[in-house]
Chains A and B, each alone.
Chain A
Amino acid sequence: MSAARPVSERYRMGRLSPAARLLRHLVLLAGATVMLVPFVWMISTSLKPPNEIFSADIALLPQTWHAVENYTAAFTKQPLLRYLANGLLVCAAIFIGQVTFMVPAAYAIAKLRFPGRDALFGIVLLALLIPTQVTAIPLYILFYKIGILDTYAALVVPSVISVFGIFLMRQFFRTVPDDLIHAARLDGCSELAIVWRIVLPTAMPAIVAFGILSLVWHWNDYFWPLLVVTSPELATPPLGIVFFDNQEAGTDFGPLMAGAVIITAPLLLAFLFAQRRFIEGVTMSGVK
């Protein structure tokens, strides 16, 4: 890999003129700036005292540092730790549920032969096209009828079956050699033992990749928690942040931004950590 890449890259680069290369970098730079500015602004604001936040001139760094006050306020004005814990609990429960359902389902669709398998996979593909908003109202009514609105279950249950996860895993399991599964069957493994002992470990890179996506999506999800949760002690981080907004004294942007920084940080950390494992996984499977 390392031997082949520089050559092909040089080849590709060589066909672009320096001007075109410069242009390409400028476009990428502009894109990155657009993506990053809100984050930079969020961090910058979280360090400023209230009077500087709305001052007319643009400054990245505050004249008087207000970081300690803002961050202390973020933790004390609202039970931010509680929100973080809720987020962690909900995301972990969702992820465990997703893996529990998607791995066996994907294995069955990828490797078992049974009537209706292709139709089933067609349904999975179809379900990929349905946005969550479409099912929100029926689910809300259902949860209301069975009385689990405003519980952790209401936050977790709708997400534990991920058709995207089933699809992703199915694509991955297709590449697992049949012989490996045949060997496991002869060695006495049941189908479930094959799923958890043999097939799942080979799919670790895909699971990690999916885990990142799942975490980002559900950690940041605002729409569904807003719909089903009313008690503040069940609030997930994005929902909790909004409570900074509802104070009678008006919005306190310093602590609000500090809170936003704090709830974004775990995602960044998780991503950086998983990214390394992810790349490891990919290169390991590449060596074979």
Chain B
Amino acid sequence: MATVGIRGIAKGFGTTPVLKGVSLDIAHGEFLTLVGPSGCGKSTLLRIIAGLDYADAGSILIDGQPVDAQAPKQRDVAMVFQSYALYPYMTVAQNIALPLVMRRLSPLQRLPLLGRLLPGTAVQQAQITADVRTVADGLDIAHLLQRKPAQLSGGQRQRVALGRAMVRQPKVFLMDEPLSNLDAKLRVQMRAEIAELHRRLKTTFIYVTHDQAEAMTMSDRVAVMLHGELLQVAPPAVVYRDPASLAVAEFIGSPKINILPAGLRSDRAVESLGLTLPIRLPGHIGSQIHLGLRAEAFDLLPAVRPNANPGVWHGHVTHREDLGADLFLHVQLEHGGHRLVLRSQHAEAASLMVGSPLGLRPKPDQALLFDADGRRLRPALDVAGDGTILAWDTATAEARQFAGHHRV
């Protein structure tokens, strides 16, 4: 167990800045997930934490102590690589044992033949074998110990890589997209296993992924990274329901959030595509803003004559995605031809086929507003002195629920 402090880490390759002053504090035993699109610098940050790469500026602290001058092996962190990086000509047992061999045996004891004759080597070797066995049992790979990595399936290799990281009980686990080479089914299973592993080991985990399902399901907190900057660090539900910026809202969530142009008619009315939402947003009258609506932020209504009801958007279904549990409707609005994706119930969408007309009403309490630069605009809450919220209609439910959560 250890805390990890990342203080103003900056890094560039040549003239391109890759990390631009990343700061983050990770608590004892926390499971922190770093998500971001490909190339945003996640692996680079992880390598800097591990000591495999140097930062141009900033500092890494482990348990409060700066480790910038320490070599990777002194930092006592373990890493699972995206490619697994198993030693190809060593058996699984040798792969898992290597960290222990390098730490517990002296250089002389490690010599191929002579080492066995030195006092103490046999005892140490037996202990290492026993430890490897324990780890292998825990990961259910004991029957594979004599195989070479080339003879293993992707999932088995992944477990071996985990085993090699676990065996020396490091202070911090770094995982760089460990599941990205697995098929979808195995990924779900390994997701659960890694989360379970974290509960069992109670070690600090820093987990990198660009798969937001992994980020949402496994972590205590999610750090969203874009272009070398942290945009938001918060629990998964907060990042989803209360994103700090348009970029976060667009990156997190599947299907992608619907973004529509909107404007403010008055302090209490946001207008978008001819529809007025009762949202209170003082001080932005006249400015162009973005209205974000998640797939589930709509009420489905029967189709009526266009413009008959000013509180409803009209459109028609262009595509139906039935995923079994979920049903996604792709809808094209009459107004401006905007396309939306919405999540609906089988019961209410039973009669809706491709081409069917329908009416849509956004739920004002789930609307997310962003200014022209993508910064989040929070509706004013009419809060009394004791903290009770007075004006329900103007506050988003999520803002209510999560007001008070810290954010970056």
Contact = CB atoms under 8 A, between A and B. Distances in A.
A186 B77 contact: yes
Interface residues of A, number: 17
Interface of B: prevailing SS: mixed
Contacts of A187: 73, 98-99, 102, 164
A173 B52 CA distance: 18
B79 A188 contact: no
Contacts of A182: 47, 50, 52, 72, 79, 81, 85
Interface string A157-189: 000000000000000000001011011111111
Chain B: number of interface residues, binned into ranges: 20 to 34
A183 B164 CA distance: 10
Interface string A182-218: 1111111100010000100110000000000000000
B73 A186 contact: yes
B402 interface: no
B150 A288 contact: yes
Nearest to B82: A179
Given A177-B83, A201-B89, A186 B52 contact: yes
Q: Kindly name the residue among A180, A184, A186, A189 whose own CB sees the greatest number of chain B CB atoms within 10 A.
A: A186
Contacts of B52: 182, 185-186
Contacts of A184: 87, 98
Contacts of B103: 188
Interface string A125-157: 000000000000000000000000000000000
Contacts of A287: 150
A177 to B, nearest CB: 6
A232 B82 CA distance: 60
Nearest to A204: B89
Q: Kindly name the residue among B73, B78, B82, B85 whose own CB sees the greatest number of chain A CB atoms within 10 A.
A: B85
B88 interface: yes
B88 A183 contact: no
Interface string A268-288: 000000000000000000011
A177 B88 CA distance: 11
B81 A183 contact: yes
A123 B51 CA distance: 31
Contacts, number: 54
Given A180-B87, A193-B102, A201-B89, A185 B73 contact: yes
B72 A179 contact: no
A203 to B, nearest CB: 11
A157 to B, nearest CB: 27
Interface in B39-86: 47, 50-52, 71-73, 77-79, 81-83, 85
A232 to B, nearest CB: 38
B150 A183 contact: no
B78 A186 contact: yes
A188 B85 contact: no
A175 B267 CA distance: 62
Contacts of A180: 85, 87
Contacts of B99: 186-188
B78 A202 contact: no
Contacts of B79: 182-183, 186
A93 B150 CA distance: 34
A188 B81 contact: no
B78 to A, nearest CB: 6
A3 B72 CA distance: 44
B150 A186 contact: no
A193 to B, nearest CB: 7
A185 B72 contact: yes
A287 B87 CA distance: 15
Interface in B75-121: 77-79, 81-83, 85, 87-89, 98-99, 102-103
A188 B78 contact: no
Contact of A179 (B77, B81, B89, B164): B81
A109 B98 CA distance: 25
B88 A202 contact: yes
A178 to B, nearest CB: 9
A198 B87 contact: yes
A185 B75 CA distance: 11
A193 B99 CA distance: 12
B377 to A, nearest CB: 43
A186 B72 contact: yes
Given A187-B73, A188-B73, A202-B88, A179 B83 contact: yes
A150 to B, nearest CB: 35
Contacts of B50: 182, 186
Contact of A189 (B77, B102, B150): B102
Contact of A188 (B47, B87, B102, B150): B102
Contacts of A185: 51-52, 71-73
Contacts of A201: 89
A54 to B, nearest CB: 56
Nearest to B75: A186
A84 B50 CA distance: 53
A193 B98 CA distance: 11
Q: Kindly name the residue among A184, A201, A287 whose own CB sees the greatest number of chain B CB atoms within 10 A.
A: A184
A189 B85 CA distance: 14
B102 A179 contact: no
B175 to A, nearest CB: 12
Given A182-B72, A189-B98, 13 more contacts: A179-B82, A179-B83, A179-B85, A182-B81, A183-B85, A183-B87, A184-B87, A185-B71, A185-B72, A186-B72, A187-B102, A187-B164, A202-B88
24 contacts: A177-B83, A177-B85, A179-B82, A179-B83, A180-B85, A180-B87, A182-B50, A182-B79, A182-B81, A183-B79, A183-B81, A183-B87, A184-B87, A184-B98, A185-B51, A186-B72, A186-B77, A186-B79, A187-B73, A187-B99, A187-B102, A193-B102, A198-B87, A287-B150
Interface of B: 47, 50-52, 71-73, 77-79, 81-83, 85, 87-89, 98-99, 102-103, 150, 164
Give me the 10 closest cross-chain CB pairs, A-B, nearest first. Answer: A188-B102, A179-B85, A183-B85, A187-B99, A188-B73, A179-B81, A185-B72, A201-B89, A182-B52, A180-B85
